[in-house]
Structure formats: structure tokens, C-alpha cells
Amino acid sequence: MTSPGADPVRLAVAVEAPLHSGLHGPLDYLSERPLSPGALVRVPLGRRDVPGVVWTTAPGDDEGHALKAVTEVVDALPPLSARWCDLVKFTSTYYQRGLGEVAMAVLPPELRKLDNAGLASRIAKLRKAYDKPVPAAPAPVRPELTSDQADALAKLAEVNLPGAAPVVLLHGLTGSGKTEVYLRAAEAALAAGRQVLVLVPEINLTPQLEARFAERFGGGDTPRRIVSLHSGLTPAQRLKNWLAAHLGLADLVLGTRLAVFAPLPRLGLIVVDEEHDPSFKQQEGARYSARDLAVYRGKLEGSCVLLGSATPSLESWQRAEQGRYLRLTLANRVGGGVLPKVRLADMNLLPKVRGATTALAPALVAALAKRLERGEQSLVFLNRRGYAPVLHCTDCGWKSGCPHCSAWRVFHKGDRTLRCHHCGFTQPVPRACPDCGNLDIAPLGQGTEKLEEQLAAALPGARVARIDADTTKHKGALEASLSAVHAGEVDILVGTQMVTKGHDFRRITLVAAVNPDSALFSSDFRAPERLFSLLMQAAGRAGRDAAQADRSEMWVQTWHPTHPVYTALRQHDFKAFAASQLKEREIAGLPPYVHLALMRAEARTPEAARDFLQAAADLAAELPGANELLLYPPVPTTIARVAGVERMQMLVEASSRPQLQRVLSPWMAALPSLRATHKGVLRWALDVDPLAI
DNA sequence: AGCACGCCGACT
DNA sequence: GTCGGCGTGCTC
């Protein structure tokens, strides 16, 4: 193989080597011929043959020990760009995961299995399908811009100069036409010959937005190729779309968080829709925030990043306040519609019946009845499925706990089961109390099943339907329920938060949140922000039809009517809410004023998990820069035991990102040594910038 | 994490 | 005799 005079080249290759193996960073191999960084290869690792990405190359003077040779060079694939490698490297160091692990996790799984020949044939097929002439489609009709949209786009054009790579926060309330701004910004990027990346929080939201982009850019004189990237695609489809992006054949890539790693040779614009959405944070492996990586990638690629939301994250909002992001505002609904009037039902003022407050405020029932009379629809929202969150024995006090988790099992009346929503443990409802035999076991609290009953009882004759994870388990069930709503076969729709996102119910003039207070007292410091966002989103479901907008209402039942969340909601005032929340975060010493990482450990016993975390803290305290950190004592996680595994966590705080980052690498490198002395620990994980603590 | 080696118990 | 249980150790 070796031609005379050609020296072997030494390569550092990023391969998937587990963290605990002690193999960090790329591994060294030899190649008979020079290879460029970003090339896909197969290399021997132990007794296996694994895929890897060439990271760096160096002249081949060997330093003593013999290196193994690369098994295969996947020439068929053009090398990944230096910028792509930079994004992967950043993700690896910032979120503390192995370089190769990150690189392999963000490549399509199918790619790792293919050899040169297989890949070459896929690529050939893909190129042929484009070359094919596209049937002529009518040129798109572009809607007239509102003055808000026109202003925003003018300002965007002012800052989006070549090389400027601005980050723009588009604050636009529901129905104000954010999508049209995305479309126009995309149009400009496409016209300049660049590719556009659009990130959405959920797979369900991709088809809708994809259709909007296809309608605008799929036809006309220069039809554009649009592909989607998310985990719902078949492996073959995902590979195909990924290749189309990488080869520059796709002009628009639309996808969920993993699409932030799509290789795009001519990237010109990144749109992050609903940028505040928690789904952008990956919750396993490298726990990256796709929104934050999009901002980093924009800088890297010299691309404009457009972050859009009706209720921006406080992190993005603060950066806009500081002038680091440009803020553009869409304050009015397209077509002159108004947001529904918000009405608070103060539960403290309701009379008690047999010591208990009625579940539905009479004023809300009256408002629902009015909708029935007028033939309009209502949406009643409760973020808790099942009939009741817990059963209890009125005699001995027994409660329906889960034997494997530190959580209650939920009573589902539909199939008469007790179900644990954390580990899935399900049993038939006992006829009598398992502890004392008493026959009087009663449900406590309220879920969507019960709410459905209560509404039917309060409004005889109303056609009530329920949409939640339980009613939509079977394929097509969600679509069937939604079309029943659209066909006007339902008067009152009961649902969990899955009904609050995206759907365009034209005949709904009332949205009610029955028990939103529960979110206010969760351990999650972002709970008020999330609740506000959720309620704003829910409010946006009402009065979508401009003709009905003025008599649309959002009802909120609450025991805390003076809470800032509800005050701000009533005034539709995100700015005031953000200001008050940021003030609170500053006083409490929470992000974005401090920077956090959360170390979690799982073990058979809480003591083993705690001892491990304590030992990890002792290790951290020895590292240079440790005096800049605040290490909190280990505490049990919110649900301490899930499926028989005990979970503890330890918070690490620093006043700046560099201070935090400085200690993380040596700390994570030192941890595997604790395995020997802490054998009870099943696993540990670090979450940088955790969503909840 | 894989994947193999290795050193003990129950089967054709 | 060997098939296979999973403890232990290694991977540029």
C-alpha cells in the first residue's frame, strides 16, 4: 500500500470512548495517506472496529509506541467543516462529555453503520433526485406586512450586515406574525445564496412550519429544497436529509434540537422559534441547550441568529436589556385581533360546601354556559392527567404510594388502575384499604378525568371531550379528537398542556386554567416564568378568529390572585413580569446572575449516593480555582427514588461562566477514580446550566 | 460502554 | 467432559 517516499501520517481521531474508560479526547492512529480533519474513518478500538472523525493531523514521526492503522477512510463523504468540528468541541467541553461521544451522537445513526460503497450509492441517488426538473409550482403570494413586521424587518436589515452576525430577540405575542418575519428573513438569506436553519421545540410543530416554508419557497422561479431533521424520522430518511444539508443540496433545514448540529456549508441564518421552550435543553448525554448552541454557532459561522418568542427566557431577555441582543417587538395581532380579557376567579371568596371549596367557580361555570348558548367552544386546561393524583383511606390514612418510587400513584378511573407516572408500575385499584380493610378509600385532588366529570355535571347537555396522553395513546386518536373539535362536535375541550401548543381552534372563545397555582410552589425556580408562558400560550388559543376576539376570555382559578404572574397576565405585560422576575433572581442569587452546574448521582441507597457526592465535593475543593466556587451539600432530588434507585444531587455555583468552566474539566477527569471506593454508585452525570434545581 | 477472558456449577 | 453464569480488565 505504501508508495515509496510517502510517510505515514499520524491522526488524532474522535471515537466514541466512554467517559469512565479513562480515554479522553481523540485517540492516535496512523494513516498511509494524508487526511483532512473532519473526514469520517473507521478505526480499531480494542477488539472492535468503530467509526470516528479525524480531528487533527500531524507528520508521522512516531514517538516510540506503535500506533494502529486506520481501517477504512469513508471518502464518499465530504469532510465535516472546521466550524462543525468547533461546535462539537465546544459542546464537549462546555457540557463535559467525551468529544467522540458528542461527535457520534450528533451524526445520523445510520451514517455510523455505512461503509464507503453504501454511502457513495446513497449520495449518488440523492444528487440524481435534485438534478431532476421540479414541476413548475405557482409563485408564492406574500401577505402584506403589518407595520410592526415592516419595522422589525427594516431594523433587522440594518444590523444584519455581512460579518456582523447579530443575535436578534423577536418578542412577538401570539398571533402577531412572527412566522412571517422568519419567512422574510429566510428569503433574504436564500436570495444571498445561503442556507437557513430553523429550530422548533417539538416534533409535532415541524410539519406545520415546514408547510409554511414549503408554501413560500417550494415553488416559483427558484424552488428551494426543504428538509426536516428530528428523531421521528426513519433512520434512512434522517440520513438522507442530513446528507442533503451537508452536501448543500437543501436550502432550508427545519428540525428539533439535534438539528443545531446539521452540517451546513453555506449557513446564513438560524431561527430559533419559541426560544424559551425547555425542550431545547437535551436531558441526557451531553445536556446541551440547542438555543445556546445556536447563538454560539451563529458567531462561529458569521450568521444572524433570530430568537423568537411571545414570552422570552429571562436569560435572553436580560441580554437584550444589556444590549448584547437586538430586541425587536411585534406588539399587535395580525388583522387587528385583541388578546382575550383575563379574568381571575379568586377561590378564597367561594363558599365552602361541607368544608370543601367547589372545584369550579360559579362565575366560570356561568361563562361556560354563555358559550354553550352562543354555540361557541371552550378549552379547559389542567396539567394533571388521571382522575385523582392520590387515593387515601379515610379510616387509617393509607395513601396510594408507589412501592418503587417516592411518589404517589395516580388513580385512573377509565381502566380502574393505580399508576405510577414515574416508573410505570400499575395495579388494579384495590376494593378496600390494603392496610386496614376499610372500604372507604377516596380520591384526593383532581385530574383531567375528574374535571371532565365535573364539567359534565355542572353543564348538563354540554358535549365534553378530553385530550391528554391517555386518550391519545393510540395512533390517530389525537387527529380524530382534533377534527371533532374543528367540526364543532365538541362544546368543551378538557386537556393537559398538549392542547395549548400550536393548535388553531377558530371557534374557541373561552380558555380556562382550573388549577395553575400548583406550578407556583414547585422546586423549580423557573416555575413562575414557565407558568406565565403556558398561560399566555393558552390565552392565545382563544379569539384566533378576529370576529370573535373581542368577546374572548381567559379564566384563571387561583388562591393567589395577587401573585405577579397573574397580575402580569391580566395586563398582558411581559416586560413588567420579566423585570420583576429578574429582580427576584438577582436577590435570590439565581441565573442569569449566577452560573450553575448540577451533579447528580444514582445509587441503591441514598447514603451511597450522598457519600459519592461528598467525596466528589472534596475532590473539587482541592482543584485550582475551587475558591471561586460555591459547593452546596448533597440533597435528594425532587423525586428521590425512581424505580428503586435513589437519587441525590449537588449544586455548584459560580459568579461567571469562566470560573465554573475552569474547574469542571479537571473535576470530571478526577471522578472515575472514586469508582473504586464508591462501588454502590450506579451512575453520575453533570448538568451544566440545569433548567431546574 | 462493549467485548473478551476466566474460573466455577448443571446438563446432553 | 462443555455450555454458560457474570466478575474483572482493557481499549490509541
Q: Convert the pLDDT of each residue in A86-130 to its tens digit.
A: 999 999 999 999 999 999 999 999 999 988 999 999 999 999 988
The class of domain A337-386+446-585 in CATH terms is alpha beta
Q: Are A635 and A415 within 8 A, CB to CB? A: no
- Residue A166: cis peptide before it, omega within 30 degrees of 0: no
Helix, strand, coil percent values for chain A (each to nearest 5): 35, 25, 40
HSE, CB side, 13 Å, CA atoms: give it for residue A289: 18
Least confident of A366-380, A505-519, A583-597, A665-679: A665-679
Q: What type of residue is A145?
A: L
Indicate yes or no: strand C within 7 A of the C-beta of A50. no
Contact residues for A194 (Cβ-Cβ < 8 A; gap 6+): A266, A267, A268, A269, A303
Q: Of A526, A536, A500, A504, give the one whose Cα is nearest residue A309.
A: A536
Indicate yes or no: strand B within 7 A of the C-beta of A675. no
Q: Are A190 and A262 within 8 A, CB to CB? A: no
Q: Which three cell numbers stand for residue A321?
A: 436589556
Give CA angle at A623 (A622, A625), nearest 5°: 120
* Cell 444589556, residue located: A322
Q: How far apart are CA A9 and CA A273, in angstroms?
A: 45
Same fold, A147-335 and A337-386+446-585: yes
Contact residues for A106 (Cβ-Cβ < 8 A; gap 6+): A88, A91, A258, A261
pLDDT over 60 (residue A1): no
Q: How far apart are CA A328 and CA A155, in angstroms?
A: 8
A501 band by pLDDT with thresholds 50, 70 and 90: confident
Q: CATH fold of A9-109, please?
A: GIY-YIG endonuclease (3.40.1440)
pLDDT, tens only, A134-167: 777 788 889 999 999 999 999 999 999 988 999 9
Indicate yes or no: strand C within 7 A of the C-beta of A67. yes
- pLDDT score, position A259: 98
A62 band by pLDDT with thresholds 50, 70 and 90: low
Q: Which nucleotide is nearest to A68 (CA to C1')?
A: C12
Q: Which nucleotide is nearest to A47 (CA to C1')?
A: B3
* Cell 435570590, residue located: A588
The separation, in Å, between residue A178 CA and nucleotide C7 C1' comes to: 59
- The SS3 assignment for A566 reads helix
The separation, in Å, between residue A541 CA and nucleotide B8 C1' comes to: 67
A2 band by pLDDT with thresholds 50, 70 and 90: very low
Give the mean pLDDT of A595-601: 96
Span between the terminal Cα atoms of chain A, in Å: 57
Indicate yes or no: strand C within 7 A of the C-beta of A64. no
Assess if CATH 3.30.360.10 describes domain A595-688. Answer: no
- pLDDT score, position A106: 96
Give the mean pLDDT of A530-547: 85
Q: Are A84 and A36 within 8 A, CB to CB? A: no
Q: How far apart are CA A282 and CA A274, in angstroms?
A: 16
Q: Which three cell numbers stand for residue A98?
A: 467525551
Q: Cβ of A141: how many Cβ atoms within 10 Å? A: 7
Please provide the average confidence, as pLDDT, over all residues in chain A: 92
For the ranges A427-441, A498-512, A668-682, the maximum mean pLDDT occurs at A427-441
Domain boundaries, chain A: 9-109, 147-335, 337-386+446-585, 389-444, 595-688
- pLDDT score, position A61: 55
Q: Which residue is nearest to nucleotide C9 (CA to C1')?
A: A21
The separation, in Å, between residue A2 CA and nucleotide B10 C1' comes to: 54
Q: How far apart are CA A196 and CA A184, in angstroms?
A: 12
* Cell 447579530, residue located: A166
Q: How far apart are CA A363 and CA A512, in angstroms?
A: 12
The separation, in Å, between residue A676 CA and nucleotide C3 C1' comes to: 32
For residues A515, A283, A541 and A505, what is the CA-based torsion angle, rounded to 10 degrees? -120
DSSP character string of A522-547: SS-TTHHHHHHHHHHHHHTTS--SHH
The separation, in Å, between residue A344 CA and nucleotide C7 C1' comes to: 63
Q: Are A380 and A514 within 8 A, CB to CB? A: yes
Indicate yes or no: strand C within 7 A of the C-beta of A683. no
Q: Of A607, A693, A606, give the one whose Cα is nearest residue A646.
A: A606
Indicate yes or no: strand C within 7 A of the C-beta of A362. no
Q: Are A611 and A650 within 8 A, CB to CB? A: no
Specify the pairing of strand A9-15 against strand A27-31: antiparallel
Q: Do the annotations mark residue A423 as ligand-binding?
A: yes
Q: Of A693, A380, A388, give the one whose Cα is nearest residue A526.
A: A693
Instruction: Out of 2.40.50.100, 3.40.50.720, 3.40.50.300, 1.20.1740.10, select the CATH number for domain A147-335.
Output: 3.40.50.300
A604 band by pLDDT with thresholds 50, 70 and 90: confident
Q: Which nucleotide is nearest to A18 (CA to C1')?
A: B1
The A 624-663 residues near strand C by Cβ under 7 Å are none
pLDDT over 90 (residue A577): yes
Q: Do the annotations mark residue A304 as ligand-binding?
A: no
Give the mean pLDDT of A331-339: 83
Q: Do the annotations mark residue A85 as ligand-binding?
A: no
The predicted model scores a pTM of: 0.95
The separation, in Å, between residue A113 CA and nucleotide B11 C1' comes to: 39
Note the strand C nucleotides within 7 A of protein beta carbons: 10-12
A174 φ, ψ to 5°? -55, 130
Specify the pairing of strand A681-688 against strand A553-558: unpaired
- pLDDT score, position A682: 84
- pLDDT score, position A617: 96
Q: Are A262 and A253 within 8 A, CB to CB? A: yes
The separation, in Å, between residue A372 CA and nucleotide B10 C1' comes to: 73
Q: Are A650 and A613 within 8 A, CB to CB? A: yes
Displacement of CA A497 from its chain's centroid (Å): 14
A475 band by pLDDT with thresholds 50, 70 and 90: confident
Q: Which nucleotide is nearest to A69 (CA to C1')?
A: C12
Specify the pairing of strand A595-603 against strand A681-688: antiparallel
Taking every pair of Cα atoms in chain A, the longest distance, rounded to a whole number of angstroms, is 96
Q: Which three cell numbers stand for residue A378?
A: 371552550
Beta strands in A230-284 (DSSP E): 252-255, 267-273
DSSP character string of A387-410: SBSEEEETTT--B-B-SSSSSBPE
Using a pLDDT cut of 90, give the percent of chain A over it: 78
Q: Of A288, A286, A287, A320, give the one whose Cα is nearest residue A306.
A: A320
